[in-house]
Structure formats: C-alpha cells, structure tokens
A and B are shown apart, each in its own frame.
Chain A
C-alpha cells in the first residue's frame, strides 16, 4: 500500500536528487549498449550481404536513438526532465526497432534480441518503464505468434508448439518482471533511507542546537570567540602584510549576536547593506546559526572504520516490524511507543491523537509497524484513546 507522504516531507526532494544522480550514469550505460547493438546489427548485415538500403535504414534508426540520447543527456544538465523523458522514448523506440528487425528478418533467431532490449531498458530501473516495456513485450509476442506464424515455422516441429511458446515466454516475462521490480524496490529502499537519514540529521542538529542553547548549565565555552578570532586574523594580516579587513565584520557579527537591530548597525557601518547583515547573521556563534550547525556537524562527523559486516548488517534498519521479532515483542514495542508519545518525554508535549493517527496510518511509518497491530489500531482508534484517557492523567489533546 503506497502511503500518502514520507515521515519527513523533505525526504522526497533529496530522493529525487539521488535518483537523478544515478540516472545520468544509467543513461550513459544504455547509450553505449545501443551503440554496441548498432555495430553488431550493421556488421551482421554487411557480412550476410544484405542490400545497402536496409543496412542504411537500420543504421539510421539506431543513429536517431543515439543522437536523441546524446541531446537529452546534454539538455539534461540544464533541465533534468529531459533525462526522465529520454528513458521512456529510448525504451519504446529501442523495443520497436528490435521488433521491426524480427519482422524484417522473419527469423526466430532475432527474438532473443527482444530479451536483450528488455534487459537494456531495465537498466533504467524505473517502474513505469518496466510496466510499459512488459506490456509492449507481451503485445509483441502475441502479435508475432498470431500474425507472423512463418517466423515459428521450425524444421523440427514440436507437437505442443503454440502451448510451449506461450508458456515459456510468459514464464520468462514473469521472472524478468518480478526480478526487475524487486531490484527497483531494493534501489528505492536505499534512496528512501539515505534521504530519510539526511533529513533526520538536519532535524537532529536543529533539535540538539535548541537543547544546547537552552541548557547553558553545562556550557564550558567561556572564551570570547570574537576577540580571539580578531587576534588570530590580525596576526595573519600582519604576517602577510595586508590591512586588517576582518575587524569590522567581526564587530558586526558580535552585534548581531547581541540582537542589535539592523538599522543601528547599518548606521554605524554605512558601507554595509541589509543583505550583508543577513549573510553575516549566519556566522554568529552563540546563537542558532548555519555556522553553529556546521560546527556541531563537524564535531559529530568523526569517521569510524566500518567493517563490511557492519555496513550490510540489518541492525541499521529501525522498525517495530522486524521479521525476527515475535508478535508479542512487536505488540510491546508499538504499545510502549504509543504510550511514551502520549505521556510525553521530559520537556516534550504529549502528541495529539490526530497527529499520531495521521503519522501511523497515512505516512511511511505504517510499514514500521506489524500489519496486524496497525490494523487493530486503525480500526479501534477510539478504544486506544479511551484507554489512554482513563489511565494517564496529564494527557493534553489538542485535536
């Protein structure tokens, strides 16, 4: 069941970025394969002494697809929709071209190249492409069996010819479809999880920064960063014998940290504009700023040497729906999670019923919970709410 939205809506943007990054590589790979097929086709036709015109026609047809690909890749740098558009056009035209080859040569020995075309198109790893070419494949085979019987007029006839051809082709198509579909899903798993982890990191940084700025009790940063930075950069200016161009900006950043209003800063520093101040505000150190986020990120980015076993371990996948866990554990996890959110962690508000239901049922979170458990929640939301209201005294429901 496809859910309405990602847990973090921003996930979809980074996911798209990842997809596009790989799509460029896939396009190049497909392009080189089509080029290879063109060389093989033309070489075969020349060696088999086919007339010049059909050789030229097939060569041009391949060239058109190749040129279209090159143009789409070039335009794709400016607008990525060209790359997306290209995969549909290339898949359909390549398949059509191979089908024309089967009909033109009238030989079953060309049919395997339909399988090859399918394999090339599946390099795009796109569900819509997969669906289109699967239907096209099925349609092509049916058309060939029904309208071009001569192609299957083998010297060594088998009694169950039509049955066999239908069965094996359908079997092949099914295996190919299922395998490509699941491989696409595997790829999607990574896109989703990397995008999710990226967004979670962004939000974690924000959350942690709020804590750090709120909870000054354990803050050991007693240094005057503005003063020391000025000294270092002054030494640096002297060292390379340039005037100190940093002092004024450091002073402005310090003023911004003290929440001095823009107008008075601009009055004191007439060479600066509001745009400059907005940019410099990102560099304040003791308030929530982009620079402070970067510092926190650097501090936590220490690279650990990861072992292959650790990289591919399933423990990184966090969910309450792990196959290895018993149904009792899955129920316990969901219940503890639900009650903890309703009760609220220290300093956190109790989550509203609406927010909980919406996230559990309508977002990707649905798949993190055992299907049986989530169905019970979905069908008995009122019972859940009543139990919580009866047992927890401080639940605030802001529905």
Chain B
C-alpha cells in the first residue's frame, strides 16, 4: 500500500499510459471500499434478499474481471468496466433508497468518470449519470427535502448536479486541449533533440576513430565492470545472477551483429527476439534512449550561461533590435543554410537547390526565427540572393 501511495505522489514522473493504469487502480480501490460497505448498507435498502445477493455477486464478478484486465494490461477495457460499475452501483443505491445520501452518489460517479479525462467516455457515461440523477431528483424529491425547506429546492438539486456536470465537461475539454498542445510541443522538441543527438553521435564516433579507441561495448574493462555490478545488484534482490549475465551477453551480441540481423534470423527464438527488440532501445552505438540519457548527463555537468528571460528565444530580433543588423544576420543565415543544403543534396538534385532552400523556409515555423519584415525582405529580394549564390 505504501508503494501504491508513493506511486501516486510521484505520478508526475510517469508517462500518460502508466498514469491511466494508476487511475484505474485508484478507482478500483475506491470501488472495493464502497462495495465492501455496501454489504452492511444493503440491509437498509428496499430490495429483496435475492436481488441484493445477485447485485453484490455481479459487483464481485465485475471486480474480478476488472482485476484481470489490469493484470493483462487491457487498461481501456478496465476503465470502461469501472465506469459501468460505478454507474450500476449508483443505480443500486438510488433505486433502493430515497434520500439525500443516495443523491450524493451521482456526484461520486460523475467524479469517477471525470477522473479518467476521456472526453467520449465522459460524454456517454456522465450524460447517462446526469439523466439518471435528473430522473431520481424528480421522482424521489420527497426524500430530499426538509420540513421547512426553501422554495424550489428540487430545482436547486437539479441545478447543482447539472452545473457540476457542465464544469467537469469544461475541465475535460480544457485538459484535452492542454494535453494535446503540450504533448505536441514535447514531441516536437524531442524530435529536434533527436536530430542534434544524431549529429553528436556522429562527432563522437569521429573522435573515437581519431583517438584510436575501441568501441565501448567491445572494451573488456567495460564488460567486466558491467558483469560484476549486475551480478552484485542481482544478489541484493535475491535474483539468479546467471540470468543477468546472459542478458548482458545478448546485449553485447546485439551491438556486434546489429538488431535487424538478429530479428531476421530464423534460428533465434521468439523470446530472445522479443528481448532483443526491447534492448534495442538501450543500445550504446545508436541514437537510442541510452545514448540520449548519457548525453543528458554530460549536458548536466557542462557549464552553461545563467538563465535569462529570452534563453529559449531564437528569433533574430532577440539578437539585435536594429533593422540593418537584422538584415545582415538574415543574409548570413540564408547563405549558411544554402551551403548546408547544397552539401547534403545529391548531385542529381543540384538544379533543385533553390527550391530546396524555399522548402527549408516553408518547413519551419518562420515566425520562430524571423520577423514579418525579414520574411518580406527575403520575398522581395529573392532574385538578389539567388544571383549572388549562383556566382559562388
């Protein structure tokens, strides 16, 4: 249980897929408590013994199904079942008793459905809950009022429920947009970082060749240290050290042979291919997660300039605010990019160089780098630029 609560506390370090799993677990825990309490509560509900028994048995079965769905990582299915489960629990309570407490159950169910932050599921299940809530309030109004209640209290109950539903809906809409925007920005940044790291990997390899050093995974000292340390960790968690040693052997083998060749080899077992595929994300000689995290560490220990407000601003305007200097800077950028593209363009595409540069400008968010005036300057003077480039 402590591990579970720790996981909730540290959920900001979990990717969305794992948070969804965590959410189902939280709801499952909650439903478990409510279902357990429902057993003594059911004595006060207006149902026959058979109905009570069948209902509680169905809840138990649904709970078990949900448990197995989580176990086999079918999270979407588990989410749907927990939502239906809470909805049915609401029906069970509200149809068996006419009181304010049963009315609160609609809010509980709405909150559970809201918790998952799934817009379509919310629309379906929460709307059904709201409809049931409205129906319940209209039908069982007598159980909700006090002796000297305010006029129109029924409408207040209805209003509260509808407003709660609407606010939750607005929140989900807002969050959906927030998640999509932030995720997109994050993925774009990751892709750009990936490009940089591709270049860094290339430079490191160049440096290694210059230094006449062996590849790190071929280095016997590296291998020995990795074997010793993994055996030590395995011992500490009471695991068979042999498994880890075999895994490291496979890891080194993938580096030597290449992942694709291993996956194509019919003589290698499916299980080993599966493990190889996972290990492929952590290779040292590719732009992998492992390489990226190694670079992250080196970046951490490098000196960097102190933080200032426009640290991540790459606009030419942020470098200089004088128009003539911006034009000089833009011309530098143009010429430099032209050379970069020319170098990476194959000979048969030489005639397309001019259009290629246009493509570079078209494929970036120009506003991230250039002001409107600079873009206009380029468009108005394209011929001047091209004339000088061709002379080179």
Contacts and interface: CB of A to CB of B under 8 A. Distances in A.
Chains A and B come from one and the same complex? yes
Interface string A309-333: 0111011111110011101110111
- Please classify the interface of chain A as helix (H, G, I), strand (E, B), loop, or mixed, using the class held by over half of its residues: helix
B111 A175 contact: yes
Nearest to A296: B196
Interface in A319-360: 319-320, 323-325, 327-329, 331-343, 345-348, 351, 355, 359
A335 B229 contact: yes
B51 interface: no
Contacts of B159: 40
A300 interface: yes
Contacts of B327: 233, 236, 246
B12 A153 contact: no
Contacts of A211: 199-200, 203
Contacts of A229: 328, 331-332, 335
20 contacts: A44-B155, A108-B153, A116-B160, A152-B100, A155-B142, A178-B8, A178-B26, A179-B112, A185-B12, A186-B12, A190-B179, A204-B295, A211-B199, A221-B339, A235-B388, A246-B327, A294-B333, A297-B369, A342-B225, A391-B225
Contacts of B12: 185-186, 188-189, 192
A13 interface: yes
Nearest to B105: A168
A228 B183 CA distance: 42
Interface stretch (A62-70, A76-84, A262-270, A376-384): A376-384
A87 to B, nearest CB: 15
A86 to B, nearest CB: 18
B99 interface: yes
B82 to A, nearest CB: 12
Given A120-B167, A203-B299, A225-B335, A329 B311 contact: no
Nearest to B310: A290
A291 B329 contact: yes
A174 B188 CA distance: 37
A6 to B, nearest CB: 10
Given A160-B44, A175-B115, A300-B195, A336 B226 contact: yes
A329 B279 contact: yes
B236 A380 contact: yes
Contacts of A40: 159, 163
Contacts of A223: 335, 339, 392
Contacts of B192: 201, 297, 300-301
A109 B144 contact: yes
A338 B229 contact: yes
B302 A206 contact: yes
Contact of A293 (B148, B200, B314): B314
Contacts of B343: 220
Nearest to A333: B282
Given A235-B384, A341-B297, A351-B297, A294 B225 contact: no
A172 to B, nearest CB: 5
Contacts of A105: 150
A136 interface: no
A347 B333 contact: no
Nearest to A160: B44
Contacts of B318: 290
B204 interface: yes
Contacts of B360: 298-299, 302
Interface in B334-368: 335-337, 339-340, 343, 360, 363-365, 368
B221 A392 contact: yes
A336 B369 CA distance: 39
Interface residues of A, number: 170
Given A207-B299, A229-B332, A380-B236, A159 B207 contact: no
Contacts of B232: 376, 380, 383-384, 387
Contact of B196 (A122, A205, A231): A205
A186 B19 contact: yes
Contact of B170 (A29, A218, A253): A29
Interface size band for B:
35 or more
Contacts of B78: none
Contacts of B60: none
A387 B10 contact: no
B319 interface: yes
B74 interface: no
A290 to B, nearest CB: 5
Given A171-B34, A190-B179, A337 B290 contact: yes
Given A283-B319, A311-B184, A368-B293, A189 B167 contact: no
Contact of B216 (A231, A280, A345): A345
B56 to A, nearest CB: 17
A288 to B, nearest CB: 11
A1 interface: yes
Contacts of B26: 178-179, 182
A372 interface: yes
A108 B99 CA distance: 11
A158 B229 contact: no
B363 to A, nearest CB: 5
A212 B206 CA distance: 12
Contacts of B216: 340, 343, 345-346
A295 B337 contact: yes
Interface string B140-176: 0011111111111111110111011001101100110
Contact of B237 (A158, A236, A327): A327
Nearest to B170: A29
Contacts of A391: 221, 224-225, 228
B221 A156 contact: no
A154 B100 contact: yes
A364 interface: yes
B108 A171 contact: yes
B284 A367 contact: no
Contact of B112 (A175, A236, A317): A175
Contact of B384 (A47, A160, A239): A239
B13 A249 contact: no
B186 A316 contact: yes
Nearest to B98: A156
A215 B207 CA distance: 9
